[in-house]
């Protein structure tokens, strides 16, 4: 077995790895040879391993101390002066005698063990380098190719063949990928498990949406426009509060682009997730109005101590404020950092009564269920048929009939 040729081939193979530099690899080779030789020769034997960083050729030199013949005791670490002078008559006691040795002399088994250890150590170092590389990429946008699609996760390969994982929980509900597709996501987390780097991607995080904005909108990347906050329900709706440091730049217009050209690219990437761009302001009342767009608010009452705000709207604006599935008001609450409750403006109908005033007769969870569909007053509930209420809420028919009876009696009494 020609160890030198085999090691040169191994060197050539591993030097192509993009996640480990040549200096690191040479260090690993020297460490493995040193450990193996120490095991074979013993801890007291001195030797040196020299690796040619251009072609991987390896030279091993072993050292002995020249001693007077009568002081010679250890063949492993010493050489008698008489023997040394047969090689070079200028040797003196105390000097160092060296000789180049071949690893082949240790046998086939030792050679196989060394090669296996070498490959294992280099791969371990490469994994360490991958971990360190991606640890610095947490929060960065990456592009990869879908390699395998499983029920609970997708295996993605980057341009260097590194394996990345996109779990089901980090996929947008409408994500549909097949092998060979290109996928964009952000690096969510990186950790080592049993010596292997586990790199988790995400397409549902707010950071992913932020990186898409930076990629599509130069003013954000340049710092002219700042993203103040992002809240989203992946695949459904998102709200992005932006602020411009240049009075000449309209942050909302810049993000939307001419005829929506900029925002459309982001929406397509998110499978038609609705994105509301909100012009940020320190004026909380104005920010709430903008966050609840497209609904038009009649008035707002803010209770800072309870981190709560009540908004009052005309009857035709309540459903707009709440939005499909309650997403609009939920995201608006998250964006402004207050719990927002929407109420119908009673100035439209002075005889109407808020549902909360029936809390002694109707359970609060039932009231909350009705308010979730935009019915916050007695008349707004009575305007809907039993069939409509059954369809839009999770209430039983018996419960709906009882609620309607209680509400109707209020107006009969009046």
Condensed to tens digits (0 to 9), the pLDDT of residues 261-313 reads: 899 999 999 999 999 999 999 999 999 999 998 899 988 999 999 999 999 88
The DSSP 8-state label assigned to residue 373 in this structure reads: T
Judging by beta carbons within 10 Å of its beta carbon (0-12, 13-18, 19+), is residue 266 exposed, middle or buried? buried
Whether the per-residue pLDDT at 20 is higher than 70: the answer is: no
Q: What percent of the chain has pLDDT over 90?
A: 45
Shortest CA distance to 51 belongs to which of 16, 18, 15?
A: 15
Residue 202: HSE in the Cβ half-sphere, 13 Å Cα cutoff: 18
Query: Which of helix, strand or coil describes residue 48?
Result: strand
As a whole number, mean pLDDT of residues 383-404 equals 89
Please report the pLDDT score of residue 353 as a whole number.
82
Cα–Cα distance list, 352 to 1, 279, 296 (Å): 96, 35, 21
Residue 287: CB atoms within 10 A of its CB come to 21
Judging by beta carbons within 10 Å of its beta carbon (0-12, 13-18, 19+), is residue 309 exposed, middle or buried? buried
Domain ranges of the chain: 3-133, 137-204, 206-280
Shortest CA distance to 171 belongs to which of 191, 157, 150?
A: 150
As a whole number, mean pLDDT of residues 160-182 equals 93
What's the rounded Cα separation, in Å, for the pair 287 and 393?
Answer: 30
Please name the residue that has the structure tokens 């309870």. Answer: 306
CATH number of 3-133: 3.30.1480.10
Cα–Cα distance list, 3 to 13, 53, 98 (Å): 15, 17, 22
Please name the residue that has the structure tokens 């395998």. Answer: 148
What's the rounded Cα separation, in Å, for the pair 348 and 343?
Answer: 12
Q: What is the pLDDT of residues 337-357, one digit of tens each?
A: 999 998 877 655 567 788 888
Rounded to 10 degrees, the C-alpha dihedral 290/296/298/299 comes to -20
Query: Which of helix, strand or coil describes residue 337?
Result: coil
Query: Strand 182-193 and strand 141-149: pairing?
Result: antiparallel
Query: Quick one: tokens of 390?
Result: 């059954």
Fold of the domain spanning 137-204: OB fold (Dihydrolipoamide Acetyltransferase, E2P) (2.40.50)
* CATH architecture entry for 206-280: 2-Layer Sandwich (3.30)
Q: Are 288 and 338 in contact (CB under 8 A)?
A: yes
Whether the per-residue pLDDT at 62 is higher than 80: the answer is: yes
Whether the per-residue pLDDT at 223 is higher than 70: the answer is: yes
Q: Are 234 and 260 in contact (CB under 8 A)?
A: no
Residue 393: CB atoms within 10 A of its CB come to 17
Please report the pLDDT score of residue 1 as a whole number.
43
Please report the pLDDT score of residue 234 as a whole number.
95
Whether the per-residue pLDDT at 171 is higher than 60: the answer is: yes
Task: Give Cα 104 distance to the centre of its chain.
Answer: 49
Q: Are 358 and 367 in contact (CB under 8 A)?
A: yes
- Place 17 in a pLDDT band, splitting at 50, 70 and 90: low
């Amino acid at each position: 077995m020609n160890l030198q040729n085999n090691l040169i081939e191994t060197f050539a193979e591993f030097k192509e790895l993009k996640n480990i530099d040549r200096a690191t690899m040479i260090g690993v080779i020297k460490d493995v040879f040193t450990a193996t030789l120490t095991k074979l020769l013993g801890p007291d034997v001195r030797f040196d391993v020299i690796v040619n960083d251009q072609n991987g050729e390896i030279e091993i030199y072993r050292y002995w101390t020249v001693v007077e013949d009568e002081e010679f005791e250890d063949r492993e670490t010493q050489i008698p002066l008489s023997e040394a002078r047969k090689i070079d008559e200028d040797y003196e006691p105390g000097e160092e005698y060296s000789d180049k040795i071949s690893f082949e002399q240790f046998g086939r088994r030792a050679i196989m063990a060394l090669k296996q250890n070498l490959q294992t150590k280099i791969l371990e170092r490469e994994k360490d380098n991958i971990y360190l590389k991606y640890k610095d990429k947490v929060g960065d946008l990456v592009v990869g190719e879908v390699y395998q699609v499983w029920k609970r996760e997708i295996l993605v390969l980057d341009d260097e063949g590194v394996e990345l994982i996109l779990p089901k929980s980090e996929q947008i509900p409408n994500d549909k990928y097949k092998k060979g597709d290109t996928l964009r996501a952000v690096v969510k987390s990186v950790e080592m498990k049993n010596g292997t780097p586990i790199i988790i991607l995400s397409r549902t995080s707010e950071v992913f949406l932020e990186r898409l904005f930076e990629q599509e909108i130069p003013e954000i990347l340049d710092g002219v426009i700042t993203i103040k906050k992002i809240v989203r329900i992946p695949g459904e709706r998102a709200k992005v509060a932006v602020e411009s440091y240049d009075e000449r730049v309209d942050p909302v217009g810049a993000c939307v682009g001419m005829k929506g050209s900029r925002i459309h690219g982001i929406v397509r990437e998110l499978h038609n997730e609705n994105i509301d761009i909100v012009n940020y302001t320190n004026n909380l009342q104005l920010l709430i109005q903008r966050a609840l767009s497209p609904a038009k608010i009649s008035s707002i009452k803010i209770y800072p101590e309870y981190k709560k705000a009540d908004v009052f709207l005309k009857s035709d604006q309540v459903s707009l404020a709440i939005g499909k599935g309650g997403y609009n008001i939920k995201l608006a609450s998250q964006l402004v950092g207050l719990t927002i409750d929407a109420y119908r403006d009673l100035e439209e109908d002075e005889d109407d009564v808020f549902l909360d005033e029936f809390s002694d007769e109707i359970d609060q969870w039932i009231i909350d269920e009705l308010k979730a569909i935009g019915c916050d007053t007695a008349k707004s509930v009575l305007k809907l048929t039993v069939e409509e209420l059954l369809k839009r809420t999770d209430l039983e028919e018996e419960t709906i009939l009882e609620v309607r009876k209680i509400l109707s009696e209020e107006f009969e009494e009046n």
